Copies of this chain bind each other. A is one copy, B any other.
Amino acid sequence: MAAGTSPDSAPGEVHAEVAARLATVGQSYTANRSSLVELMVHSDQPLSIPEVLERHPELAQSSVYRNLAVLEEAGVVLRIVTGDEFARFELAEAFTGHHHHHLICSQCGSVEDVTLPPSVEAIVVRELEGQARRRGFEPRGHQVDLIGHCADCR
């Protein structure tokens, strides 16, 4: 419940909250998992596994995959599947404190975060969810992404 209530919780708060969430899934907050969370807290864009390993070569690839899966299951991280070769991971919105969308580069696969004005966000959500419900589809979330070329790939 405390998670995400403050738009930008103190650094320590995040770890405490992650530990709590993991507990609800019967998992503990190990050093490796903490490394991953710490990494994502300080990253301004979703990371692929190779990028994670680049920054933490001491971690075993399989453990990174496995721990990100655990963190995903606990609702701590979000897995982003683009057309790119690798999936990417970022802290769930409850932990970053702000709902956002993505600028996906179709050239290099990088992903940047952007936010939409609440008014715009509201209009889209209302419209989409209305349509969905009318067809018996139960909405759980949405993704609004822009595809294009990032500054580096123009």
Binding site for B on A (CB under 8 A): 79, 81-83, 101, 103, 105-106, 112, 114, 116-117, 120, 123-124, 127-129, 131-132, 135-151, 154
Contact = CB atoms under 8 A, between A and B. Distances in A.
Given A83-B79, A154-B136, A129 B116 contact: no
B139 A142 contact: no
A149 B138 contact: yes
A89 to B, nearest CB: 12
Given A123-B123, A141-B147, 11 more contacts: A103-B137, A105-B137, A116-B127, A116-B128, A123-B124, A128-B146, A136-B154, A138-B149, A142-B144, A143-B143, A144-B144
